[in-house]
Amino acid sequence: MPVALLALALSAFAIGTTEFVIMGLLPEVAGDLQVTIPSAGWLISGYALGVAIGAPIMALLTAKLPRKRTLILLMIIFIIGNVLCALAYTYNLLMLARVVTALCHGAFFGIGAVVAASLVAPSRQASAVALMFTGLTLANVLGVPLGTWFGQMFGWRATFWGVAIIGILAFIALIVSLPTNKEEKPVHLASEVSALANGKLWLSLLMTVFFAAAMFALFSYIAPLLLQVTGITDRGVSWTLFLIGAGLTVGNILGGKLADWKVSFSLILSFVLIAVFSLLFSWTSHALWLAEITLFLWAMATFATVPGLQINVVRHGKDAPNLVSTLNISAFNVGNALGAWVGGAVIDKGYGLTSVPVAAAALAVVGLVICLITFRKSGGQGETVRA
């Protein structure tokens, strides 16, 4: 295993932690900056917007830079953004700092995935991408709960100082371990943009949108579902989130191996399983152990999709791997917002919390249909990507 993959995973861990840890620190942030909880919640939306908009912009601005230099530059922005978060003394400054931090997110994951694939043989590219994204899943399993606890104990600013320190370690690891690819061809802006004319690429990006929508329609409202339907305690919710994080991690690794074998089969199977387990949870959510088992399997199916989606997008936009890989991260964040909106709309319409998993299953079915159309048009080929 190339050490550089571990450096990329450590970077992903830091970035994932800073994105999601704010959810656990909203009461502390709101109290300190004297804003309401809903206002503090906009810090989450502001970050997601920064990722969705900033990702392709940063990819284009850094198009002519070597990938190693680009990743190092993005990590510097990440460190500066977290330091600004820790120093922010007003709500507006914190929002600005979060947006600055988000600028590096999509481009780092997009370009980092291309670099990860280039570090291994073609037959192991999806597994390499999965290893990098394991850092993101571990951020949910370890980074978010530990960061929340640390912020509750020592103040929310301490968490961002801690993440900045992890960012510095990742920065050093990237400098030391990432190889300098002297054969890397310079990227031309015109060729990057012209690659967007591929219709299969847009179908692949739309597939990512509905994958993320299916995931976050359920995940965004998992806490009230567990509390009000399953009937577990606040502490039980924390343990269930840990269990979900473990499922995401296992699924990510298995999905990488499956996508190495055949991308089309990997994605079709994952979308089917997401729909099945989401629908099943609308029934099993009433029983504790059945709910826990279903959520673990749902989490596995969900993140088993990620490596295949990333590889598939780059395959259809191979003339502009940096840009299209980064656009995939933007598509993920668009789906995140769509899924959360759909779940909230279902609740607002009075259908009840148990209807949320049904809505998530419906979104997964839409993703499955797009998946089938995409691979029917491409003949179902699961070719690998050459970075």
> pLDDT at position 46, please?
82
Section 115-123 average pLDDT: 84
Statement: residue 268 has pLDDT above 50: yes
Is the confidence at residue 386, as pLDDT, over 60?
no
pLDDT digit string, tens, across residues 343-372: 888 888 888 889 999 999 999 999 999 999
**CB contact at 8 A, 135 and 355:** no
83 burial level (CB within 10 Å; 0-12, 13-18, 19+):
middle
Distance CA 154, CA 137 (A): 25
**How far is residue 254 CA from its own chain's centroid?**
17
Task: Tell me what the mean pLDDT of segment 230-236 comes to.
Answer: 81
Distance CA 385, CA 387 (A): 6
CB 107, CB 58: distance < 8 Å: yes
Residue-wise pLDDT for 48-76, tens only, equals 888 888 888 887 788 778 888 999 999 99
Q: Residue 81 pLDDT > 60, yes or no?
A: yes
The whole-number pLDDT of residue 385 equals 42
Per-residue pLDDT, averaged over 318-338, amounts to 79
Q: Is the pLDDT of residue 91 over 80?
A: yes
Residue type, 305: T
- Non-local CB neighbours of 288 within 8 Å, separated by 6+ positions: 230, 231, 232
What does the DSSP assignment read for 42-79?
A: HHHHHHHHHHHHHHHHHHHHTTTS-HHHHHHHHHHHHH
Q: What is the mean pLDDT of the chain?
A: 85
pLDDT at residue 382 greater than cutoff 70:
no
Cβ 39 vs Cβ 140: under 8 Å: no
Token pair 């806490």 in the structure block, residue: 223
pLDDT surpasses 90 at 139: no
Q: Is the model's pLDDT at 323 over the cut of 90? A: no
Q: For residue 106, what pLDDT band results from cuts at 50, 70 and 90?
A: confident
| pLDDT tens per residue, range 122-137 | 778 778 888 887 888 7
pLDDT at 202 over 70: yes
Q: What confidence tier does 187 reach under pLDDT thresholds 50, 70, 90?
A: low
Confidence of residue 325 (pLDDT cuts 50, 70, 90): confident
Can you give the pLDDT at residue 195?
A: 64
**What is the pLDDT confidence band of residue 21, given thresholds at 50, 70 and 90?**
confident
Per-residue pLDDT, 1: 62
